[in-house]
Amino acid sequence: MTNVDDSGFLSALMPNRGRSKLMRVVAGFCLLIGLLGGFTIIRSIASDLYAHSHWPVVKGDVLRYDEKSAVPPGSSSRHDVYWIEFEVEFDPREHGCTTGSSWGVPSQFPCIGLISTPSTSSWSSARQWTNRHPRNSAAAFLYDPATGRLRFADESVSDVVDPGKIIVVLVAASLGLWLWFAANRRLRFLETLPEDYDATPPDPRRDAKPDELTDLKLS
């Protein structure tokens, strides 16, 4: 067989066909994570854009908030996710109060509702919502009269989508794409070589006799 100059990072990572095919499976897994995470992020962004373009803006106050945490359902991780639940009051105007809760006496803001922020793995990110919307502060809300749902009107997409999730999706998708193309390129190269080709350097101690092993240790 003609000597092949097969050195470098790819040959070390995928020295033979078996390892290359395994890396292609890993690439598919990374791409799946990126695809599912990207779909979740796109859905959150689309929902936020729809609320800003279709829900009326109403005025009100932040009454109080509760700091929440829980282990994600179905997750094997013991790390909690965090979110804030705000109780707010507002004037629904001609849209009517459909949240299911209101003051029993005449009030400037007769309707009461709840706003739950998106969950995040970062406690400090969750706490930022309370800094932007402290107790007894005036606020504007996006209000859906059909469902009684509320959102803060001054929050941007970057506040609604967890930056940590965006980073994970970008890293997983980038790594998956790189591994996928690298593994396929490596397999095409290996197809030009014998079936049992392996770029892994042989271990000189594997087939050495006892006296040869002694010489290796002394050298």
Instruction: Kindly report the CATH class assigned to 54-160.
Output: mainly beta
Segment 135-164 mean pLDDT: 89
Beta bridge partners of 120: 82
Dihedral sign for Cα 53, 59, 60, 62, please.
Answer: positive
pLDDT classification of 1: cutoffs 50, 70, 90: very low
| pLDDT for the residue 41 | 87
| pLDDT for the residue 3 | 63
Q: Write out the DSSP string of 126-144.
A: HHHHHHHS-TT-EEEEEEE
| pLDDT for the residue 67 | 93
Which single residue is written with the structure tokens 């005449």? Answer: 106
Residues 6+ apart with CB under 8 A from 202: none
Structure confidence by residue, pLDDT tens digits, 43-94:
888 888 899 999 999 999 999 999 998 876 655 556 788 999 999 999 999 9
Selected residue with higher pLDDT from 178 and 10: 178
Q: pTM of the entire structure?
A: 0.67
pLDDT classification of 146: cutoffs 50, 70, 90: very high
Q: Write out the DSSP string of the chain.
A: -------SHHHHH--SHHHHHHHHHHHHHHHHHHHHHHHHHHHHHHHHHHHHHHSPEEEEEEEEEEEEEEPPTT-S----EEEEEEEEEE--GGG---SS-B-SS--SS-EEEEEEPPPBS-HHHHHHHHHHS-TT-EEEEEEETTTTEEEETT--HHHHS-HHHHHHHHHHHHHHHHHHHHHHHHHHHHTTS-TT---SPP-TTTS--HHHHHHHHH-
Segment 92-116 mean pLDDT: 94
Residue boundaries of the structural domains of the chain: 54-160
Structure confidence by residue, pLDDT tens digits, 189-207:
989 888 888 888 766 555 5
What percentage of the chain has pLDDT greater than the value 70?
A: 86
Structure confidence by residue, pLDDT tens digits, 150-194:
999 988 777 777 777 888 899 999 999 999 999 999 999 989 888
Dist. CA 101–CA 112, nearest whole Å? 5
C-alpha distances (whole Å) from 85 to each of 21, 106, 137 are 47, 25, 15
Q: Give me the phi and psi of 116, to 5 degrees please.
A: -105, 125
